[in-house]
Amino acid sequence: MKTLTFGATHEPVLLAGIGNPNVFEGSMTLADHRALHGSPLPAGRRTKRSVEGVIGALQRDGVRGRGGANFPFAIKLQSIVDQRKKPIIVVNAAEGEPASAKDLGLLSRNPHLILDGAISVARLVGGSEVIIWLHHGSAALGVLRRAIDERVQEVGDISIKVAQAPDRFVSGQVTSVVQGLSGGIALPYVLKEQPSVKGVNGRPTLISNAETYALVATTLQHGADSAGHLLTTIMDAAGNRTIIETIRGTSVSAVLSAAGVSVTNEPILVGGYAGSWLTADRLSAAVVDSIVATEPDIRLGVALFAVADPTWCPVALTARIVAWLASQSAGQCGPCAFGLPATAEALTRLAQGVGSSTDRDHLVRWLPMLTGRGACAHPDGVVGLVRATGESFANHLWDHVNQVPCTSVRATYPWPSLEMPVPVSA
Ligand code: SF4
């Protein structure tokens, strides 16, 4: 069983009241939640000034999308307001990245914070429909349904529904969400118009990640005290995860330490499976921000820090991850149908010591051809990981090209396909 525990580097806001660290009594009731966080934006007459005030506060406190894109939420909100039509509010809790568990953790411990944010936004923009989109069979489903039931009396004319997404890596892509909620198959498509203009069933739709709505709630309810807070997932080599609440600017070492992880020469995969490697020599300069380390750029993505076993071969591990990522596409675009499987095969040959400089040359030639060619950014992410491996482990990769025997290759790795972790109490 993979476990999910919780902690914080500072006084927590998002995880407040659910135990610090690792002490839990299950999910928070609405009464407990209200006692701690107060009430969300009240129902009432919306005025231009009230809307501008909220958007200004979200902008000032730097609330950004926490699904990986890091896009300023205030801009998204303004674009919905500009439509002057009744929008749909979608909470995207389908964490496609299997190693990330921050949204699952927050949903399973305090779904009310996420609901507060979504309901506040719906009231602000005149929406009457909130949809929570999460993976089919999510461990948080029961808790979420109970939380929604607790609110029956107070939500007034706002309906809250749960919609279950197929358990696939790309189900959380914005266009997959629009397509899935519009009655189609939840797969990405080429975006021609932003969902804020034409989204679910052609209506203006605000889609944001679950943690983002929680940040909206804490910003509106606690103001500047909550600015800069965010959740990270720390995963160990065995696949156990710890959700650490931290503040932008905190050192990555402090976040790892809060999770009880000490790093000597373990490489850390940052941002997600399609992320970048943070190697031990760069760890001391790395801080948690949209860019984790400046030399080279390592993006925060979904704020995953997956700590690899230092005895694992990074080429073989990357080959395993790329093969899995290739298997997760719908194969409906050229780069995914042909490019990713071929890339995975070349890397696997190199990892197994039966590859050659031809495989390396193929990779060098193919990677630029896969970039920016898909309907979504899935191939770009895979290309980024392969490049990051080449940059971070150049000598090791070169040894594989030259068929130097590698004793670090394992028959299997616990990553990338992981079972859902189970939240545990200490
Ligand atoms: S790029 Fe790949 S994952 Fe994205 S829509 Fe096309 S086939 Fe699907």
CATH code (residue 35): 3.40.50.11540
Per-residue model confidence (pLDDT) at position 218: 94
Looking at the structure, do residues 154 and 91 belong to the same domain, yes or no? yes
The residue contributing the CA closest to ligand 1 atom 1 is 374
Per-residue model confidence (pLDDT) at position 330: 76
Contacts of 169 (CB under 8 A, 6+ apart): 96, 97, 98, 325, 328, 329, 378
Looking at the structure, do residues 323 and 275 belong to the same domain, yes or no? no
Looking at the structure, do residues 340 and 301 belong to the same domain, yes or no? no
With 50 as the cut, is the pLDDT of residue 23 above it? no
Looking at the structure, do residues 248 and 293 belong to the same domain, yes or no? yes
Per-residue model confidence (pLDDT) at position 19: 59
Looking at the structure, do residues 256 and 339 belong to the same domain, yes or no? no
Stretch 325-354: mean pLDDT: 91
The residue out of 307, 324, 347 marking a domain boundary is 307
Per-residue model confidence (pLDDT) at position 42: 63
Domain containing residue 270: 230-307
**Per-residue model confidence as pLDDT tens digits over 105-122:** 999 899 999 999 999 999
The 3-state DSSP class for residue 90 equals: strand
Domain annotation covers residue 415 = no
Which two structure tokens, joined as six digits, stand for 397?
A: 């990769």
With 70 as the cut, is the pLDDT of residue 379 above it? yes
Rounded Cα gap, residues 110 and 61, in angstroms: 22
Q: How many domains would you assign to the chain? A: 3
The residue out of 307, 330, 356 marking a domain boundary is 307
Contacts of 333 (CB under 8 A, 6+ apart): 373, 374, 375, 379
Looking at the structure, do residues 118 and 143 belong to the same domain, yes or no? yes
**Per-residue model confidence as pLDDT tens digits over 342-377:** 999 999 999 999 988 899 999 999 999 999 988 888
CA of 336 to the centre of ligand 1 (A): 6
Say if ligand 1 is within 6 A of residue 4 CB. Answer: no
Say if ligand 1 is within 6 A of residue 307 CB. Answer: no
Say if ligand 1 is within 6 A of residue 382 CB. Answer: no
Say if ligand 1 is within 6 A of residue 96 CB. Answer: no
**Per-residue model confidence as pLDDT tens digits over 291-302:** 898 877 899 999
**Could you tell me which residue, 19 or 228, shows the higher pLDDT?**
228
Per-residue model confidence (pLDDT) at position 24: 39
**Per-residue model confidence as pLDDT tens digits over 151-174:** 988 877 899 999 999 888 888 889
Per-residue model confidence (pLDDT) at position 43: 60
Per-residue confidence band for 21, with pLDDT thresholds at 50, 70 and 90: very low
With 90 as the cut, is the pLDDT of residue 235 above it? yes
DSSP tag of 239: S
Say if ligand 1 is within 6 A of residue 228 CB. Answer: no
Task: Among 376, 380, 382, 383, name the best residue to mutate to test ligand 1's pocket (greatest count of ligand atoms within 8 A of Cβ).
Answer: 376
Greatest mean pLDDT among 62-66, 219-223, 376-380, 382-386: 382-386
Compute how many other C-beta atoms are within 10 angstroms of the C-beta atom of residue 95: 30
**Could you tell me which residue, 306 or 227, shows the higher pLDDT?**
306
Closest-lying ligand 1 atom to the alpha carbon of residue 328: 3
Per-residue model confidence (pLDDT) at position 340: 95
Looking at the structure, do residues 249 and 368 belong to the same domain, yes or no? no
With 60 as the cut, is the pLDDT of residue 425 above it? no
Looking at the structure, do residues 129 and 257 belong to the same domain, yes or no? no
Domain annotation covers residue 134 = yes
180 phi and psi angles, rounded to 5 deg = -65, -40
The residue out of 307, 332, 352 marking a domain boundary is 307
Say if ligand 1 is within 6 A of residue 375 CB. Answer: yes
Per-residue confidence band for 214, with pLDDT thresholds at 50, 70 and 90: very high
Domain annotation covers residue 418 = no
CA of 170 to the centre of ligand 1 (A): 8
Say if ligand 1 is within 6 A of residue 333 CB. Answer: yes
CA of 335 to the centre of ligand 1 (A): 8
Looking at the structure, do residues 209 and 278 belong to the same domain, yes or no? no
Calculate the alpha carbon distances from 273 to 95, 304, 317, 417 in Å: 12, 9, 11, 10
238 phi and psi angles, rounded to 5 deg = -80, -10
Looking at the structure, do residues 152 and 237 belong to the same domain, yes or no? no
Say if ligand 1 is within 6 A of residue 7 CB. Answer: no
Looking at the structure, do residues 211 and 241 belong to the same domain, yes or no? no
CATH code (residue 287): 3.10.20
The residue contributing the CA closest to ligand 1 atom 4 is 376
Cα atoms found within 13 Å of the Cα of residue 13, Cβ hemisphere only? 22
Say if ligand 1 is within 6 A of residue 378 CB. Answer: yes
Q: What interhelical angle do 111-125 and 210-222 show, nearest 10?
A: 80
CA of 346 to the centre of ligand 1 (A): 20
Domain annotation covers residue 66 = yes
Domain annotation covers residue 262 = yes
Say if ligand 1 is within 6 A of residue 330 CB. Answer: yes
CA of 330 to the centre of ligand 1 (A): 6
Domain annotation covers residue 409 = no
Q: ∠ CA 412-417-422 to the nearest 5 degrees? A: 115
Looking at the structure, do residues 140 and 251 belong to the same domain, yes or no? no
Rounded Cα gap, residues 32 and 10, in angstroms: 21
Domain annotation covers residue 416 = no
Residue 72: asked if its preceding bond is cis (omega within 30°), the reply is no
**Could you tell me which residue, 424 or 194, shows the higher pLDDT?**
194
Amino acid at 80: I
CATH code (residue 396): 1.20.1440.230
Per-residue model confidence (pLDDT) at position 84: 85
Residues above pLDDT 90, as percent of the chain: 68
Domain annotation covers residue 17 = yes
Say if ligand 1 is within 6 A of residue 331 CB. Answer: yes
Task: Record the pTM.
Answer: 0.92
